[in-house]
Chains A and B, each alone.
Chain A
Amino acid sequence: MKMTGAEALLKILEGYGVKHIFGYPGGAVLPLYDAILNNPNIEHILVRSEQAGAHAAAAYGKYIGQSGVCIGTSGPGATNLVTGIANAYMDSIPLLAITGQVDSSFIGRDAFQEADITGITMPIVKHNYLVKDPKKLVDIIYDAWHIANTGRKGPVLIDIPRNVFEATVDFEPRTDLVKIKGYKPTYEGHQSQIKKAVKMINSSFKPLLLVGGGVNFSKAEKEVVEFVEKYNIPMATTLMGIGTYDETKDLALGMIGMHGMPYANYAVHHCDLLIAVGTRFGDRATGSLSKFAKDAKIIHIDIDPAEIGKNVLIDLPIVGDAKSVLSEILLGIEIVERNEWLEKIIELKSRNRMLLHKTALNPQLIIQKLGDMARDDILIATDVGQHQMFAAQYFKFSQENSLYTSGGLGTMGFGLPAAEGVALAAGGKKQVFCITGDGSFQMNMAEMATIVEHNLPVKILLLNNSSLCLVKQLQHFQCDKRFSEVSFTGNPDFSAMARSYPNMTAYRIENEDEIESVLKEAMSHNGPSLIECIISDENLVYPIVPAKKGLAEMIGVEKW
């Protein structure tokens, strides 16, 4: 079939079941937008800046389990995607970024709105393409989709000059499997390694399962449940692994790391076997590497061979997909009596004594209440800062795939567009709470317009302490309380600001006794709203694993 390059692009996306794309028009993508207008199957979501589009598409993709799609025009449209792409790269989120480029004949001549976006994004994509030859466009799109969505997932960018969008191409939908010579991810674990793993697990007295984001992506939640519930192996997660198993259960210890749950950190310290799945042992999760799980043997299961042994020394590596490897292991392991270990875990958990600096309205309490009220019904997106850590600690996630947050890059401004993307992906069936702070929220607050335009069920839970409090906390400890450029001497009147967007409701919480009634009220109607909580800037996130210390050397938690 003959059609334009732009039409072929949309046809391929349709073939993959794409329903929404996030973008912003401009000169170089005009032909694409013309094709979008004529396409009945894909809805375009007009964001208010491309950065938000990339974040929204990433969160959307994480929800539906295949890459979201974002579009930027050439030049500033493309460069505005950079933070969103870097964010997706660090968290291995599948994302397809389409950028317009100036006409092929102008490339390299500093034409209007020209930027070398393939050069710029090279360090932060799984792969990228500049399509110079329209004949190659169709194959490149198929390859790009395949690369983004298989193996260790990640962002792929295709830079398409305007004339390539306009060119006539031959398009036949492909039914064969995409094959790329230099790209063959390993899904099946090596049998002999799996056998060794089974043996190690069966002979371990104090095993601990450590779950990372890779488990979410491989949809191995059922396998994790079996590990914990059938074989009584306790589990902890990294920030990205939250939302794989119900944290209210006894053997679920929650997040480890710099601001992890004390009992989770102790469990890592005391275990004799750590079964790490789909995690890259990021520095915020491990603390001092030499003290990390130092009495334990470590099994590392990951789809990316380059992660094995990158940060932590491994006793048994298994390269493969989490779901496949875990289910193979489950075939071999036995139910082993480990009462002592389990009692210890349960005791550790029951003796949780995280310090809580008491203020008039504690953010921890708001999040805890929100969890108690709606844990099984709502999805959570967060920004970056204290509120992000409080959400990870206090919400007690119970549903699969229910947390959308920026882990590796720590991107302020991720939360609101992410909530927008997730709300769309969930088809309006779930309310999405965006837990944010006054610093992060301002970074992409323009997206309120998009949220209002589509009347998305997004509730912005704004914990306003009029400062950049996580940085302030670092200054508290590292700079002897010299607080430099972290206080907002002025903040907008957030309620008034929200009301300036049509159909946006605004609430305010100033006291503990208002929490439940306001949250209930906000949840009772399905449209967007902003709930501003006035909190102190003196809260500290505890516990803290200080720099160069091991996970068991936390401060801000009562000694044992």
Chain B
Amino acid sequence: MNKDNNIKINGAEIILKCLEEENVDTIFGYPGGAVLPLYDALYKNKNIRHILTRHEQGAGHAADGYARVTGRTGVAFATSGPGATNLVTAIATAQMDSIPLVCITGQVARHYLGKQSFQESNIVDIVKPITKYSYQIKNVEELATEIKKAFRIAGTGRKGPVLIDVPKDITVDKAIFEYPVEVNYKVEKWGESEHTYQLVAKELMDCKKPLIFIGGGAQDASDEVKELAERLKSPVTYSLMGKGVLSDKHPLNIGMIGMHGTGAANYAVSECDLMFAIGVRFDDRQTGDEINFAKNAKIIHLDIDKKEFNKNIRGHIHLHDDSAIGLFKLLKVMKEENYNHQKAWLDQIETWKVNHPLVYLKSGMIKPQEAIEAINVASEGKAYVTTEVGQHQMWSAQYYEAASARHFITSGGLGTMGFGLPAAMGVQLGKEGELVVAIAGDGSIQMNIQELMTISANNMPIKIVLLNNKSLGMVRQWQKMFFEERYSCTLFKDLDQPDFVMLANAYGIKARRISERADLIAEMTAAFKEDGPQFIEVVVDSEENVFPMVPAGAANDRMIFE
């Protein structure tokens, strides 16, 4: 037990002590009536930095971005009522992508509960479907234990968001602070035996056409994935959440799988005779037609969450294990010399790569893909990239060359427009001194545009690249392809949009607009070299579509290339 000389402190101070115990150094939040005592405690606290966002949703996404890039649990504060409900989208986003997040919300005092009091909302019930755990504190005595438990739940096993709701009177009540060493939370046991991995090693030896498929669950298994791929000489594909685990420049990396995956990756899915899926959940955007997904393959599925087995795709071997530990065990039992017999398969992959590269026409207006390639050049491949959701997200996934794990931060499962800009704030604070590039579209950036102020006020040196195609391009693309070009509510006329350069300037952020191909790389490079936040609007061709594309529900090899 960790006792502090039997001095009683109030609930708000207990919360901050707990956060210190968990080594939390940065919190994102927004004050309000029900969190007054908490913010008063924060005022006196010297160890924790609080970033005041301009909307609670921004705080939630920023904490999420911080967690994604550092691997640690992100923390957000909000007041009761609208403060809490404003976190909902951010919590749902973290839940879908298994991001550890602890949200602490203020609540009306206990005697006001259940009476529709001012700024009361039943946030614990609201977030039940979208958290790993949500709980309302009952008294000050259990506060420390519950917060410890919250961090434990958020950060172990399959990670995810947790919400702790604290009535205002409890933050004023006093108790002796003790941070428990252990809490009563039954963690699901995982870990497969050496024998199991020997069987897997044999499968790997026997197959002719292996394909490694990595997802977000493999973000901490970069080294192991790389070693496995190299020893097996197996091509590697990834889901959106698995981007960067293996460098995009690695010769065995054949690009993203799924709806907007590469030709080589999607053909490989259909042709492989063994798929080793690591930390993926076979989402519909990856698998398309589930019946024909990897239909010729034996599927080995390694995941820390048992519930994912057979949920969407039936696996043949289930490995219930942590991906890094599991792969480490596997590599130990693998006998090197026997795995080098995949020449024909790699040749086939190479042919697909040559026949179906990612292409676009460099003529007319600047193409959005070009802008992403310019980011590759200007950042010298070192940037941490965040994206919003839409066409630019897919182009970023296709063309941005992520150097290593946790360098590509994006909302995968929920597909949340408005995620990228605030997430970039968390990324920047999690990786101070590093280059952070927030790639956005003109629809998404407006959803949390107020966070430009947080960026500017804290002088976060984020480079915001806006690909402006004057439309909600992804929806427009679907309308073009599947609704006979009936563009309903997806095109912006000139008067329907702000002048983004002026807008960024109004926030005190240096901004430039690039509309000429000749200026693209030079301007982008110049902007990246400047200090402080930079806003770069690239005026791009609005007719451009994301290809290849597997129509929803079709098999992966039924790609449309143009």
Contact = CB atoms under 8 A, between A and B. Distances in A.
Interface in B36-91: 36-37, 39-40, 42-44, 50, 52, 54-55, 81-82, 85-86, 88-89
B82 A83 contact: yes
A416 to B, nearest CB: 11
A120 B127 CA distance: 6
B362 to A, nearest CB: 29
A474 B85 contact: no
Contacts of A478: 36, 40
26 contacts: A30-B483, A34-B488, A36-B489, A37-B489, A46-B489, A79-B130, A86-B82, A90-B81, A109-B284, A111-B283, A115-B129, A283-B118, A310-B115, A311-B115, A409-B81, A411-B81, A413-B82, A443-B54, A445-B450, A446-B449, A446-B450, A448-B498, A449-B498, A475-B36, A492-B452, A503-B495
B457 A488 contact: yes
B125 interface: yes
Interface centre among A114, A439, A492, A497 (most CB of B within 10 A): A492
B478 A453 contact: no
A36 B488 contact: yes
A492 B453 contact: yes
Given A496-B502, A502-B494, A79 B478 contact: no
Contacts of A445: 449-450
B281 A410 contact: no
Nearest to B93: A76
A485 B33 CA distance: 13
A17 interface: no
Interface in A70-121: 75-76, 79-80, 82-83, 86-87, 90, 102, 106, 109-116, 119-121
B482 A112 contact: no
Given A83-B88, A122-B126, A496-B506, 15 more contacts: A30-B483, A34-B483, A38-B486, A79-B414, A80-B447, A82-B89, A124-B126, A412-B82, A445-B450, A471-B31, A474-B36, A488-B457, A490-B457, A500-B498, A501-B498
A137 B129 CA distance: 24
Given A25-B475, A113-B415, A409-B121, A119 B129 contact: yes
A102 B285 CA distance: 12
B375 interface: no
Contacts of A471: 31-33, 36
B447 A106 contact: no
Interface string A484-525: 111011111110110111110000000000000000000000
Contact of A33 (B85, B121, B488): B488
A75 B281 CA distance: 17
Contacts of A121: 126
Interface in B423-482: 446-450, 452-453, 456-457, 472, 475, 478-479, 482
Interface of B: 29, 31-33, 36-37, 39-40, 42-44, 50, 52, 54-55, 81-82, 85-86, 88-89, 92-93, 96, 112, 115-119, 121-122, 125-130, 281, 283-285, 311-312, 389, 411, 413-418, 446-450, 452-453, 456-457, 472, 475, 478-479, 482-483, 486-490, 493-503, 505-508
Nearest to A38: B486
By CB atoms of chain B within 10 A, which of A409, A448, A475, A503 has the most?
Answer: A409
B55 A485 contact: no
Nearest to A488: B457
A123 interface: yes
Nearest to A119: B129
- Number of contact residues on A: which range applies? 35 or more
A267 B495 CA distance: 52
A123 B502 contact: no
Contact of B488 (A25, A75, A79): A25
Contacts of B482: 30
B50 A119 contact: no
Nearest to A111: B284
A124 B85 CA distance: 10
Contact of B122 (A123, A311, A413, A500): A123
B248 to A, nearest CB: 22
B121 A48 contact: no
A26 interface: yes
A282 B118 contact: yes
Nearest to B447: A49
A126 interface: no
Contact of A446 (B447, B483, B487): B447
A500 B36 contact: no
A310 B116 CA distance: 10
A30 B475 contact: yes
A410 B456 contact: no
Contacts of A501: 498-499, 503
A76 B88 CA distance: 9
Contact of A491 (B125, B453, B479): B453
Contact of B495 (A80, A82, A499, A502): A502
A347 B418 CA distance: 55
A75 B414 contact: yes
Given A25-B475, A115-B414, A283-B117, A442 B55 contact: yes
A498 B68 CA distance: 34
B552 to A, nearest CB: 8
A558 B339 CA distance: 90
Interface in A421-471: 439, 442-443, 445-446, 448-449, 452-453, 468, 471
A499 B500 CA distance: 11
A21 B55 CA distance: 25
A494 B129 CA distance: 39
A284 interface: yes
A87 B489 contact: no
Contacts of A120: 88, 92, 126-130
Given A34-B483, A497-B507, A123 B121 contact: yes
Contacts of B88: 79, 82-83, 120
A280 interface: yes
B502 A500 contact: yes
A3 to B, nearest CB: 17
A443 B502 contact: no
A442 B450 contact: yes
B40 A475 contact: yes
A44 interface: yes
A25 B540 CA distance: 22
B508 A490 contact: yes
Contacts of A115: 92, 129-130, 414
A76 B499 contact: no
Contacts of A38: 486
A492 B284 contact: no
Nearest to A39: B488
A65 interface: no
Contacts of A448: 498
A111 B258 CA distance: 13
Given A442-B450, A490-B453, A492-B506, A76 B121 contact: no
A485 B81 contact: no
Contacts of A499: 502, 506
Contacts of A475: 36, 39-40
A332 interface: no
A76 B126 contact: no
A325 B150 CA distance: 51
Contacts of A468: 31
B466 to A, nearest CB: 13
Nearest to B124: A123
B495 to A, nearest CB: 5
Contacts of A483: 43
A485 B508 contact: no
Interface centre among A36, A37, A442 (most CB of B within 10 A): A442
Contacts of B311: 109-110
Given A112-B413, A410-B118, A485-B50, A474 B33 contact: yes
A305 interface: no
Nearest to A77: B417
A442 B453 contact: yes
Contacts of A51: 86
